[in-house]
Structure 1
Amino acid sequence: MARSHFLPTPTRYPRSGRLPAAAVLLGIATVASAQDAPSAGDSDELNVIAVETLRDDAPVEQAATPAPGAIETIIVTAQKREQSLQEVPIAISAFTDFQLDARGIVSVKDLGTAVPGLQFSDLAGYNLIYLRGVGTDAFVPSAEPSVATYLDGVYFPSAHNMVQSFGALERIEVLRGPQGTLFGRNSTGGAISLFTRAPGPEPEASVQASYARFDDLKARAHVSVPLADTVAASFSGFYHREDNYYTLDNGGTDELPPEIGRGGRLRLSFAPTDDLRITLTGLLARYSGTSTTTSVNTAPSLLGRLLLIPAETREYVVTADSTPSLTTDTEAWYGEAVWTLPWFDVKLLGSHYFIDAYDYVYDYDGSQRPAATYGAESDYQQIRTGELQFTSNDGSFASHWLQWVAGLYYLRSEGGYNPGYLSLAGSVLNLEPVLGGLPDALRGLLGAAPLPTQLRFNFIGLIGAESYSGYAQATANLTDWLNLTAGGRYQEETRTLIRSDVELEGIDGSLVSFAPRESTVSNFSPRVAIDVTPTRNLMLYASFSQGFKSATYNIINIYLPPDYIEPEEVTSYEIGFKSDLFDRSLRLNVAVFESEIENLQTGFVSLTSGGAINFENAGEARIRGVEFDATVLPMPQRNPGLVLTLGGSWLDAIYTDYRNGSGYDEDTGLSFRSDCGDDPDNPSGPRCRDFSGNRIVRTPEFSGAASLSQTVDVRSGSVEVGVDYYYNGGFFYLAQNSENSFESSYRVVNARVSYLHAPWNLRVTVFGENLLDERYRLAQFHTDFGRADTLAPPVVVGLRLNWDFFG
């Protein structure tokens, strides 16, 4: 039988050693040194089973039943090469497939309660991610996320459902802080990398199924089979159906649609020689339902009250006259070829990604009144990428002290609304005696004719991008205990406003057509880091890094020309340490950082300030923070199944220069545009509402999580009991920091009890989510009509089954 070519390359670890006691830095080094002497009781004797996650395209070899949350050796590819998590001078949270399943994490969104400083929220069906206070709060296709998301190394930029499940995962890595050098554009806050299971030489299969309150049914299956000695294939599929936990009360018989997600991923791996491996992947998925288009007006503005919109006080009841809905189709095709040469490794990546959101209906006024509806017939993005990467290996020049990676990257994209729409009823259009009439620009478009009972504006806004970049980074082992990492990325990107037209339904031709525009920007994003290993299980590091977010245009405009949005740049300084202490019964990682942001990109929604959505630059911001994560085995010898994990983030995140922002008057609820101007004689005139010094939106000052689990061996298996706790200190939804835009602090408690039948490798889990029945918001949306809220789900209890079996 021919030899299989799927065997993974042996993991290579950077050298480490000891530093004389006189050079030990920071007080913790003394503690580490005192307990780090080699002995028969070193990590090999711990009753903790190590899990090594190998290459992103190789099978994961792990023990049959590692204790959930136990200290593990995890291999990550945060620097485009295999390294131990604890030896990378970057703040990283990494989760193996076992950890994900044990805690019921089925999508990236679930990581919001497990990763320090990671904040997930939604806005009208868009997923918004903030990491260390850096994110994007605008829900337009031209407002790309500030936290880059990758699936098997392929960039997935869309904010629609990008955090949903992609089937069976091998691991997730969350890199905190700007990652401009190796991950490039739109990673000013960080990067999230998902790695799926790849086909290998041995057959394997697994299923997961769960049922919970609201007829919440989830199912996932994965199978991998070798087709020949050098060919293997795998298939992963998932299905999710859940009744909406909101009910619709609009005086009719309409009902809210259920949330349904389904999709599949097919992978084919071919290894014709020992040195060459090719993997091809195809992914199709569809999500339908309402997402956070289900919202309720709980605080009507003056305009809302004039339209007789009442404040909704009932929980989990929607009174929208336009039934909320959203459907999203995702299609992705990508491949990679890895060629191992005697001098270095070569990797070629290519991808085609397409996502289309349609049947998009959002009741803009959030009430039963037929005032305004926002939506889209097609909100799409199409992206093609290519990457050529070179990585040093054992045969590279000076490989005993130098490791490096370099590459070229290309991206071409197009997307936008084709079309989106805003529908206004006559009750909104005939408020001239109260509000002084419509904006002059809009009045001019309509002419002197009487206002109709309803207007529907269709806006077509399409934007394209073409980006080229080259990057390189190297780590030099200057001594056994001192490493220096340096690198940079040069990128050049052209943004094109392809089309920006406004049509009035019922009238042929464009009502307004704005001229196409184009801009080109370039950027160099460096990174420098130094790490010191004073003892074998302690690493100290300091780093300087920058990130770059692309310039763009605001593509939703009805009567004002599209605004040009300056590129966002982040500069970050960080010091920290990573440690495995007390015979690896305590893992403690801490980072202290400061980030400075120029031209922070932010959004604001108002009918009277451009037509619907403003996307603008907020000047400058500064974020200082401390974060930690820890894993503790309180009794590693007597009770190795008892595991405690902790994580927390303190953030002082403020706008340092945001004088000309947009907001809503707290008394009238009417929108305003601050204009502090540059007049030294009148720096704070009546229109000046300076946001400088305010807290950055969607960023709690403190958030933290704790998880306690106990695993006990029983006959034929084990029983695990676990409790997860999450605390969020509260944050503002608007940059003006108004009282009615504040999300108060909240707590979420989840729990689980599971039994593992070892002979079958079958686990049955009873779980509960939000057991305190805490009321907090998934989304808050401020418009001219008031504040619309979407509550998070109430208590959910269910049953989950995991079964891993092999042929």
Structure 2
Amino acid sequence: MPTRMTLLAASVVFALSSNAQASVEIDSPNSSPSDHDALEVMTVTATKMEENVRDIPVSVQVTTGEELEKKRIYSLEPFFKTLPNVAISNNYGVFSSPNYRGLATSAFAQESPITVYINGVPHSSVYGMDLGLLNVERVEFLRGSQSTLYGQSSLGGVINVITRQPDDMPEGKLVAEAAEYDGRMIYGSYGQALIEDVLSFNIAGRYRESSGYLTNKYPGSRSDYDESEAYQYNGNLRWNITDRTHAILSLNGEDRDNGGLPFYAENDGSLMTRQEIDAKNRVKVSDQALKIEHETDNFVTTYLAANQKTSADHVSDMDRTNGSTSPVIGNFDGAKFIDDSEVSTQTHELRFNSNNSDIRWVGGVFYQDHLYDAKDNGTVVPNSNFGHMEAHNMSDVSGEQFAIFGQSIFPVTDRLETTLGLRWQKDDKEIDSSNRSVMMGNDTTTNYKREASWDVWLPKLAFGYQLEGEHLLYGSVSKGYQAGGFNFTELNPNKAKYEPQRTIDYELGIKSSWLDNQLNFDLNLFYLDIKDAHGRSISALNNITFFNVDKARSYGAEFDLNWFINMDWSLSGALGLNKAEYRTNEFAGNRMANSPEFTSSLTLNYGGYEGLYGHLTYNYRSSTYTDAENTLKIDGYGLVDAHLGYRVDDYTVYVFGTNLFDEDYTTNYYALPFPGPAPIAGAGQPRTLGLGVSVDF
């Protein structure tokens, strides 16, 4: 308890964090605060209109692309780990699932409670939750329900990734790194005009590989169990058709082969395992988007069409060891999980927003066509007590979403503004189920089809009041929504459907600026009233039941601070406090899964002597349970990362280290659906040191 209270006190004093709500705009990833007189006010598109981040009644955390590059964050998963009240878990190592304020991934929709938009293209599928952050201008994290404007599954929040848009000036960057565990990374970006003031482009790409840190000692198997290799890219082509009309074609994608993710039975800190299955975990993502925008004196018209496709091909050792048995199933040697799935999504949005108007407004229509195709999702147990057993699911779950939305901000007085928003959304879903089972020599297949439809009104009411000085008091009440769906592993068609998850989100906060904008301190309080919370349980024979918990709640606070101390030093920070619990059903009183009660981090930046710069970051996550029963617990842990570099003209050399004190920690913890085998844990990355060089041109 004293240690925890010390950490809490330190966090309150420093408002610990790695990102701030109004970030320093740094001209290059290696420049220092000495190049600037104060914190710059940023323009964001959180309300689908360009606005001052300090003036909108929404808790928005903004991170610039320069900050991401300084911290070597080139993809979403490490970015998620810097956010307050966010936890990342892996489902058997197949995909990354963010949890925010107790709101977890909807298991069979495979949709995150935080929707990620990359240049307006929505990504809610958890198979794409580690997309690349390349050539980024800024990332906006909109906290709380964003269902009114964004729909989708944005009841937890929205992450807007805005990449650098092409302009006429040639600009490029190259980065190369080498690290322990055979880690190598090459990153490059370049952009220029093809026709001055008319046609321009930029592109970015990244390659990385590592031998991994979990060693497999099983004879004849691949020793580097979690070796990985990944390619990522994005690009933009901008055409200025007229002075008031432009079109942007965007491409984004990755091909990631993670080998066997670092999961093993009875995590004892040795980073040694014995798994007889050579695992693989390959994910491919590609999306294309076309944005056309036309501006008049009174309003701006925007049309966005996007196509997104994600595929996952996964094989893993079921018990993550060899020689284990179960009194029910028997021998687990050769048993494995398999997942061959594909998610495809097409979206269209037409919206209009005000231009040069006292009443700021935005409105539009949205359409989405979505398909989750489980080509082969299941298990194989070759040596069970029942002989050779297999279970295969080959179901399709398709859906369409229609929405009309609008939001306006009205000035009531010189100091008070009111926001009114409303969205009508309709979701149609259909399952074409096919399940094959092999047991005791019997090979059976069951098929059925079912349809369901839901529609909902999603209002929002908010206010923003400018206090004396640079301070904004704000509050909001809004409804959040995550559509229902079908459990595609359920054999009984009458039990397959589950209902939507709904929330009422209450927010109250203050954004304050001090010392001529050298110090920004923000506080946001929230309360979520959750209806029909999504949950699931797994039986001893791997039958998955998806259920709705009638009532749940989540409440807490988030603090953000960015302090430009002097010409050489700056401090940024965030602190998250969260209590998320079920209130009914058999889990009443239990903490919601993967919901830490306390999260914090602290980043101290230096950039004062010649070209020398650096930062030191501490991140902490308190303990969490990974199951609704609260029987599987991950202990809290804190990690220290550092970066030190020297810049001369356009050239930079730097050293870096992650987990400097070599903390032994667990990233995930789960039990198999069969009695007998040991629980399985995800191993955290040990201390890793590296060296990098970069050049701007």
TM-score w.r.t. structure 2 length? 0.90
Contact 2:29 2:67 in 1 (8 A): no
Alignment of 1:199-238 (within 5 A): 199-229=166-196, 230-238=198-206
1:236-315 matches, within 5 Å, as 236-255=204-223, 256=225, 258-290=227-259, 292=261, 294-298=262-266, 313=268, 315=270
Q: 1:566 to 1:63 in 2, by over 3 A?
A: closer
1:373-405: CA deviation from partner (whole Å, max 9, x where unpaired): 4444621101000000101001xxxx1x20000
Please give the alpha-carbon distance, in whole angstroms, between the structure 2 residues aligned to 1:279 and 1:345: 15
The CA distance in 1 between the partners of 2:346 and 2:605, in whole Å, is 44
Structure 1 gaps of 5+ residues are 1-47, 53-60, 299-311, 431-450, 660-689
SS at match of 2:546: strand
Quote how far apart the aligned CAs of 1:735 are.
1.0
Equivalent AA in structure 2 for residue 411 of structure 1: Q
Identify if the C-alpha distance between structure 1 residues 772 and 63 changes in structure 2 by more than 3 Å, giving closer, same or farther: closer
How far does the alpha carbon of each residue in 1:419-442 deviate from its partner, in whole angstroms, 9 at most, with x for none?
Answer: 12311233x3x2xxxxxxxxxxxx
Please say if 1:580 is aligned against 2:534. no
Partner of 1:149, secondary structure, is: strand
Query: Counterpart amino acid of 2:235?
Result: L
Q: C-alpha distance in 1, partners of 2:657/2:474? A: 39
- The answer for the alignment partner of 2:18 in structure 1 is none
Structure 2 counterpart of 1:653: 580
Contact 1:457 1:558 in 2 (8 A): no
1:633 CA drift (Å): 2.7
Contact kept, 8 Å, 1:51 with 1:63, in 2: the verdict is no
* Aligned 8 A contact 2:523 2:558 in 1: yes
Cα–Cα, structure 1 residues 249 and 558, in superposed 2: closer, same or farther, change >3 Å? farther
Alignment-derived partner of residue 679 in structure 2: 787
Q: Distance in 2 between matches of 1:356 and 1:594?
A: 36
**Structure 2 CA distance for partners of 1:505 and 1:545, relative to 1, 3 Å:** same
Secondary structure at the residue paired with 2:124? coil
**1:90 equivalent in structure 2:** 58
Q: Radius of gyration: which is bigger?
A: 1
Deviations 1:488-518 (A, max 9, x none): 110001011023332549999x723231000
Is 1:698 equivalent to 2:582 in the alignment?
no
Which among 527, 542, 560 is matched to residue 629 of structure 1? 560
Change (3 A) 1:340 1:505: farther
Mapped contact 2:446–2:491 kept (Cα < 8 A) = no
Higher strand proportion, which one? 2
Q: Is the 8 A contact 2:606 2:615 kept in 1?
A: yes
Secondary structure, counterpart of 2:607 in structure 1: strand
TM-score (norm 1): 0.78
Aligned residues: 660
Aligned to 1:420: 377
Kept in 1, the 8 Å contact 2:165–2:236? The answer is yes
- Give 1:3-42 correspondences, 5 Å limit: none
Q: Is 1:78 aligned to 2:78, yes or no?
A: no
**Alpha-carbon distance in 2 for matches of 1:606, 1:720:** 54
Question: AA paired with 2:488?
Answer: I
- 1:193 partner SS: strand
Displacement after TM superposition at 1:333 (Å): 1.3
Deviation of the 1:614 alpha carbon: 3.2
The structural deviation recorded for 1:211 is 1.4
Question: Out of 307, 310, 316, which is 1:352 matched to?
Answer: 307
Q: Deviations over 1:556-594 (max 9, x none)?
A: 246887621110111111111001112222110001110
Give CA deviations for 1:498-546 in whole Å, capped at 9, x if unaligned: 23332549999x7232310000000111111111001241000111111
CA contact (8 A) 1:113 1:705 kept: no
* Residue 568 of structure 2 is aligned to residue 641 of structure 1: yes
CA shift for structure 1 position 786: 3.4
Name the residue aligned to 1:778. Answer: 667
Match of 1:197 in 2: 164
Query: What amino acid does structure 1 have at the position aligned with 2:624?
Result: F
In structure 1, C-alpha distance between the alignment counterparts of 2:361 and 2:28, rounded to whole Å: 28
| CA distance, structure 2, for counterparts of residue 777 and residue 531 of structure 1 | 42
Conserved 8 A contact 2:31-2:613:
no
Which of 699, 709, 734 pairs up with 2:605? 709
Give, in whole Å, the separation in 2 of the partners of 1:415 and 1:155.
Answer: 15
In structure 1, distance between residues paired with 2:439 and 2:695:
54
For the residue of structure 2 that corresponds to 1:546, the secondary structure is: strand
C-alpha distance 64-327 of structure 1, shift in aligned 2 (>3 A): closer
Alignment of 1:62-141 (within 5 A): 65-67=31-33, 71-124=39-92, 125-136=94-105, 138=107, 140=108
Aligned-pair identity (%): 22
Contact 1:751 1:767 in 2 (8 A): yes
Q: Residues 64, 800 of structure 1: CA spacing in aligned structure 2 closer, same or farther, 3 A cutoff?
A: closer
Distance of 1:561 and 1:787 partners within structure 2: 32
Distance across 1 between alignment mates of 2:106 and 2:233: 30
Cα deviation digits, residues 171-203 of structure 1 (max 9, x gap): 111111111111102011111111112221221
Q: 2:627 aligns with which of 728, 734, 739?
A: 734
One-letter amino acid of the counterpart of residue 495, structure 1: K
**Residues 132, 176 of structure 1: 8 Å contact kept:** no
Structure 2 partner of 1:338: 293
- Structure 1 counterpart of 2:637: 746
Q: Distance in 2 between matches of 1:315 and 1:603?
A: 32
SS across alignment from 2:112: coil
Residue 322 of structure 2: SS of its match in structure 1? coil
